[in-house]
Structure 1
Amino acid sequence: MVILSIIWGSSFILIKKALNGLTPFQIGGLRNVLTGIILLTFGYTSLKNIKKPQWKWIAISGFLGSFFPAFLFAIAETEIDSAITSILNSLVPLNTVLMGAAVFKITSTRRQLLGVIIGFIGTAVLIFRGSEINPNQNYLYAGFIILSTLMYAANVNIIKKHLQDVRPLTIAAGNYVFIVVPALIVLLFTDFFSATTFNSETIWTAILCVVILSVFGTALAKVLFNKLIQISTPVFATSVTYLMPIVALIWGLLDGEAFTPMQGLATLVILAGVYIANNRRT
């Protein structure tokens, strides 16, 4: 969980830097294509272990957990700071609990629900303070992040309910059987391969950021996250999104983004929510 929080918490600043040389659709397309190449290279031989009824869930999981969010987060960060984007992502545990109970019939304990609520309060404070510090940012773009959190929540519940017996690497590689071609098509339509794109002075730095995102923030992180879902509860697994903002806020501070003592207090509230939600006592 800590490893994932560091990897994913660093992803938001990488997206921000990549936007200096690439468009949101180029970032999403390139990220998905590169990740697909990596995961299919290492996990292709394990695909034969996926049972026929599981393939539809693999496909749905891929689009909800990887394909669409890669574009939505990049679009959101054209208007919202990277740290605030990571904070909004903390809605995932709450959506996971609500969707798990309403759609997938996966129950959570009262302690887990209490922890999620406390963590959400901390997140709300962070969002409120962020809007005060950055009044010129268009917070309508927060809708792209909220939509992504709903997709992530659905993906977590799908893996827990329908893909529990499939190896994490197999799930990740199977996802990209369906993702990599649509991602390549999107990338082709963005004129990524044109001379104009590569004439930009910042293009290679941007591409390097996307490569790091693909290798660590998507390929490695997806395998680790799938494993975390299988060995724990959906709430525990998604609580990583409560730790990610701490890492993202540190990166944002180093990059000149604002941070206040109230945001520090809200971060402590988030950590308290994580502790309560993940305590084994019921």
Structure 2
Amino acid sequence: MNSLRTQLLLIGTMAIWGLNISAIKVLTAHFDPMVVAALRMALAAVVINLTLFWLKPPIILGKVPIEQWLRFVLCSVLMIYANQILFTGGMVSASATNSSLIMALSPLVASIMAAVIFRETLTRKRLLGIALGFGGVFAVVFSGAGASLSSATWGDAQIFAAMFSFVAGGVFIQSLARQFHALVISSFIYTFGAVLLCIHAVLDDSVDLSAQALLAAGFWPWALLILTGIVATALCNMLWNHAIAELGVARTSVFQYWIPVFGVAFAMLWLGEAFTWWHVVGLVGILLGTYLGTRRA
């Protein structure tokens, strides 16, 4: 897959993830957050493994050193287990404004990690791109009526921790991609992460797993849960892991600036929210930030 096609597909992924944030907010009103996390990841693991069986990419597991297996486990714990517990739990109380700005910090965190771990050059152009992208997100988010930075809550802290764990897991994917196919990496980390989440849900006495509690939500929340598990989680994360393998974690993370943009755009289309010049300013900033932030040194 060429770099341009990967970048275009990443923008499409950000559109789906922009919708997914609202979907998770809806789902946590009908299900326990732990149930949402476990079921979505279990469904994603099934889809990814079926894709692996269908495509049959080269799998090299013989003579894999213990250090590589530890990286697989750490990546799974960070990107799936810890990330989902923190993200679904944080969405219960975190504000949409604060969450959008917190998630927009991921390119900066990823660039710093890549510079420290992989010795990637943190050029002035990339730093300018990060600043322009974050400024664009700021303009888009605060163009909405009533948008404000409310006082920090425990939910906001959980969203920040979820963002950090996801970026940290991406660093391990970048190192694993030198030896393994991206689909093989996705298969392992989602299967292992889903198993951890399911065990956690079963052992946690506060999580009600009775048939009555699960069926009380009705048809549409279940349909939404299945849709987010297959499309937003399985398909989009397979593409995300492939992009990290091709572009690197720092350049790939820059595309997360588009998540709040699509969230606002869908609100305009479906909820009739007003379009202002601040949206234009924000879009220009994000476009320039993406261009500068994804250029190779």
**Do these two structures clear the TM 0.5 threshold for a shared fold by scoring above it?**
yes
Instruction: Indicate which of 232, 256, 277 corresponds to 1:241.
Output: 256
AA in 2 matched with 1:269: G
In the alignment, does 2:225 pair up with 1:210?
A: yes
> Which stretch of the first structure deviates more once superposed, 251-260 or 180-189?
251-260
The 8 Å contact of residues 34 and 207 in structure 2, kept in 1 or not, is answered as no
Alpha-carbon distance between aligned partners in 2 of 1:74 and 1:134, rounded to the nearest angstrom: 22
Question: Where in structure 2 are the equivalents of 1:41-120 lying within 5 Å?
Answer: 41-43=50-52, 49-50=60-61, 51-52=64-65, 53-82=67-96, 85-120=99-134
TM-score between the two structures when normalised by the length of structure 1: 0.85
The 8 Å contact of residues 123 and 266 in structure 1, kept in 2 or not, is answered as yes
Can you list the C-alpha shifts for 1:50-100, whole angstroms capped at 9, x where unaligned? 433422111111121222222222222222355753443121110001122
> Which stretch of the first structure deviates more once superposed, 10-19 or 76-85?
76-85
Instruction: Indicate which of 261, 272, 282 corresponds to 2:288.
Output: 272
The 8 Å contact of residues 119 and 271 in structure 1, kept in 2 or not, is answered as yes
What are structure 1's unaligned runs of at least 5 residues? none
- 2:34 matched to which residue of 1? 25
The 8 Å contact of residues 122 and 267 in structure 1, kept in 2 or not, is answered as yes
> Which stretch of the first structure deviates more once superposed, 124-133 or 204-213?
124-133
> Which stretch of the first structure deviates more once superposed, 265-274 or 26-35?
265-274
- 2:247 matched to which residue of 1? 232
TM-score between the two structures when normalised by the length of structure 2: 0.81
AA in 2 matched with 1:121: G
What are structure 2's unaligned runs of at least 5 residues? 1-9
Aligned-pair CA distance for 1:12: 0.8
Matched residue SS, 2:286:
helix
- 1:222 matched to which residue of 2? 237
The 8 Å contact of residues 8 and 244 in structure 1, kept in 2 or not, is answered as yes
Alpha-carbon distance between aligned partners in 2 of 1:95 and 1:174, rounded to the nearest angstrom: 25
Matched residue SS, 1:244:
helix
Aligned-pair CA distance for 1:237: 0.8
The 8 Å contact of residues 100 and 141 in structure 2, kept in 1 or not, is answered as no
AA in 2 matched with 1:67: Y
- 2:49 matched to which residue of 1? 40
In the alignment, does 2:17 pair up with 1:8?
A: yes
State the aligned residue count: 280
> Which stretch of the first structure deviates more once superposed, 241-250 or 82-91?
82-91
Aligned-pair CA distance for 1:136: 7.0
C-alpha distance 90-136 of structure 1, shift in aligned 2 (>3 A): closer
Query: What is the CA RMSD across the aligned residues, in angstroms?
Result: 3.0
Aligned-pair CA distance for 1:216: 1.2
The 8 Å contact of residues 78 and 169 in structure 2, kept in 1 or not, is answered as yes
AA in 1 matched with 2:180: V
- 2:214 matched to which residue of 1? 198
Aligned-pair CA distance for 1:166: 1.3
Alpha-carbon distance between aligned partners in 1 of 2:117 and 2:272, rounded to the nearest angstrom: 38
The 8 Å contact of residues 47 and 234 in structure 2, kept in 1 or not, is answered as yes
Can you list the C-alpha shifts for 1:85-136, whole angstroms capped at 9, x where unaligned? 3443121110001122234433333322220122123334556667952677
Alpha-carbon distance between aligned partners in 2 of 1:119 and 1:109, rounded to the nearest angstrom: 15
Alpha-carbon distance between aligned partners in 1 of 2:212 and 2:160, rounded to the nearest angstrom: 34
Can you list the C-alpha shifts for 1:14-33, whole angstroms capped at 9, x where unaligned? 11221231121111111122
C-alpha distance 195-158 of structure 1, shift in aligned 2 (>3 A): closer
Can you list the C-alpha shifts for 1:180-221, whole angstroms capped at 9, x where unaligned? 221112333354531331352x34322222211111111111
C-alpha distance 74-213 of structure 1, shift in aligned 2 (>3 A): same
C-alpha distance 216-18 of structure 1, shift in aligned 2 (>3 A): same
The 8 Å contact of residues 12 and 86 in structure 1, kept in 2 or not, is answered as no
